[in-house]
Amino acid sequence: MNENIIHVQKWSGRERPNEEKIRQLLLAEGLEPFRWEAGPGDVYHAQTLTHGRIIYVVSGSITFGFPIEAEPTTLRAGDRLDLPAKIPHNAAVGFDGVVCLEAKRH
């Protein structure tokens, strides 16, 4: 996978993912995940980070916007976003809030 391209991978498993399963997926890649959550309707204004990150949604939903780069995308339980460094992005949390596991991309 090209580390300079935004990549979204939708959950394709039969069973709903759980936090431990997602944590194991990140650990298997040698990553150090941390958990965060946000309330319904929370909005994160555009930001650009110096490091890439990988975000898995554990529950709920969140829509990421990518001004200039790409169309917005909504992530739900099990979906993964690989976000390269220096990509401007914003986010809006869905009606049920969101819980995510995130790791810095090395």
Per-residue model confidence (pLDDT) at position 35: 98
Per-residue model confidence (pLDDT) at position 14: 86
Per-residue model confidence (pLDDT) at position 5: 83
Per-residue model confidence (pLDDT) at position 24: 96
Look-up of token digits 């997602």: 22
- Judged by DSSP in three states, 47 sits in strand
Q: What is the pLDDT along the chain (106 residues), one digit of tens a residue?
A: 556 788 999 999 888 899 999 999 999 999 999 999 999 999 999 989 899 999 999 999 999 999 876 788 999 999 999 999 999 999 999 999 999 999 998 6
Per-residue model confidence (pLDDT) at position 75: 97
* Close Cβ partners of 89 (under 8 Å, ≥ 6 residues apart): 46, 47, 48, 64, 65, 66, 67, 69, 83
Per-residue model confidence (pLDDT) at position 1: 56
Per-residue model confidence (pLDDT) at position 2: 57
Domains of the chain: which residue ranges? 7-104
Per-residue model confidence (pLDDT) at position 60: 97
* CB < 8 Å & 24+ apart, contacts of 8-15: 8/73, 8/75, 8/79, 8/80, 8/81, 8/82, 9/79, 9/80, 9/82, 10/78, 10/79, 11/76, 11/77, 11/78, 11/79, 11/80, 13/78
The class of domain 7-104 in CATH terms is: mainly beta
